[in-house]
Amino acid sequence: MARRPDIGIFGSGAWGTALGLTWAQAGADVVLWSAFPEEVALLTAGRCHPRLKDAPFPDSLTVTGDPSRAFQAPLWISAMPTQATPEAWRGLRKAAPAPPELVIHVSKGILQSTHQTLTQALAGVLDVPVGALSGPTFADEVARGVPSAIVLALPPAVPEARALELQAQLASERLRIYLSRDVVGTELCGALKNVLAIAAGLVDGLKLGYNARAALITRGLAEMARLVEALGGQPSTVMGLAGMGDLLLTATGPQSRNRTFGELVGKGHSIEAARDALGGQVIEGMSTTQAALALAAEVGVELPIATEVQRLLNGEAPQEAVRRLMTRSLKSE
């Protein structure tokens, strides 16, 4: 009889796979579930992810198209694309023999349809506590064992003793876990940093220089803080790994899809051409921008940088976005 897995990961994209690799290499028995038979066949045959070619799968990482194997794990990790996640879990929940103790999701964004975070949406779908894992991490570096740090945000329904156990379970010598109870702040930071990274890429594409990029990142952080605090998040989260750390990485790192997308648009590519140049990968900031603006409007918060990113996505000229930001009414910092 097969050993009961320690962790079940639902979603076999680069990020979910990178985490599975990390935990498997640290000694956990990990099952990675994919909804796509062709992907299961590819990962099983090659024993590596096509976007993580320098990180072969250890024996303790199993790929499956049968969710029942992943359901056996006491800890479920949700790693599917943000906008598809709630509907995917509605189907998976019906097939699950029993609900888990909790679910931790690792996706970033705000739902376009409801303007909810994923913990809010999934708590309703699954009727169990839902936490989030978020921070400044590129999948390829985590998969290769490059030292990284990330935030595990858990709701009050998870007792402190259990939270500390989960922190220790998911940490390794190469992945340092910081515990937080600010779930909404952690999620909003992870969502907004993708929007701001598009704007940072735009600055790079227009060759506006390091001064402009530093100003944009700093004012973007202030924009992030306004929304987080209006929705009950903590200022310390914005200034920590989930906020400032993830924003700095995504707005400056060459592996960032969102930053690269913005850079291509700044260089004159159309929205469609920029997406095609990235091989059809998900650009999280594109779907998050409109939802973030709608959420901000509901609580009376102004997001000028996100507003210009949305105009950019609607086809307006990049130079106009910069002009409007630079000629806004003068304010105190």
Q: Please give the Cα distance from 150 to 174 (Å, whole number).
A: 11
3-state secondary structure 270-320: CHHHHHHHCCCCCCHHHHHHHHHHHHHHHHCCCCHHHHHHHHHHCCCCHHH
Told to judge if 53 belongs to the known catalytic residues of this protein, a careful annotator would answer no
- Among 163, 121, 114, residue whose Cα is nearest residue 294: 114
Contacts of 93 (CB under 8 A, 6+ apart): 99, 125, 126
Q: Please give the Cα distance from 156 to 151 (Å, whole number).
A: 16
CA 227 to chain centre: 17
Please tell me which residue in 193, 207, 267, 331 is annotated as part of the active site: 193
Tokens, residue 172: 């390794």
Q: Please give the Cα distance from 43 to 10 (Å, whole number).
A: 14
- Residue position matching structure tokens 């007792």: 159
Q: What is the full DSSP assignment across 228-255?
A: HHHTT--HHHHTSIIIIIHHHHHHH-TT
Positions marked catalytic: 193
